[in-house]
Amino acid sequence: MVLGVTSDDALTAAAALAVAFVVLAVVAALVVKAAVVRLVSLVIASVLAGLVWSQRASLAECADRVQAEVAADGVDVDTTCTIFGRTVRVNLPGGDEAPTTP
């Protein structure tokens, strides 16, 4: 008993420190997980925003083409647009008819 600490006191202190480190590790893991989830969500949202931003010209061109065909024909419009490399069929009733709402 050089330092005034018995072996039982040392074992108790070691066990308490081990539990404290386990609790600290769990808390750190939860904080890191939350940060990683936020980072991954931010990256995914940024990629999706970039993809939509890159298609804005194609969407505007499609809308202009549909409006021009409706104005010129005055009948049912059946045209196609390319969005994200996929062809989308647009079929809208044309003419001066007001859209009906339920």
Instruction: Report how far residue 70's alpha carbon sits from residue 64's, in angstroms, rounded to the nearest whole number.
Output: 10
Residue 75 near residue 94, CB atoms below 8 Å: yes
Answer yes or no: do 43 and 3 share one domain: yes
Task: Note whether residue 82 is domain-resident.
Answer: yes
pLDDT of residue 1: 45
Domain range enclosing 9: 1-54
Share of the chain above pLDDT 90, in %: 39
Number of domains in the chain: 2
More confident residue, 87 or 95: 87
**pLDDT 10s digits, 40-82:** 999 999 999 998 888 888 888 888 887 777 777 666 667 788 8
Task: Note whether residue 44 is domain-resident.
Answer: yes
Answer yes or no: do 50 and 78 share one domain: no
> Which residues have CB under 8 Å from 70's CB, separation 6+?
77, 92, 94, 95
* Amino acid (one-letter) located at 94: G
Q: End-to-end alpha-carbon separation of the chain, Å?
A: 89
Answer yes or no: do 1 and 50 share one domain: yes
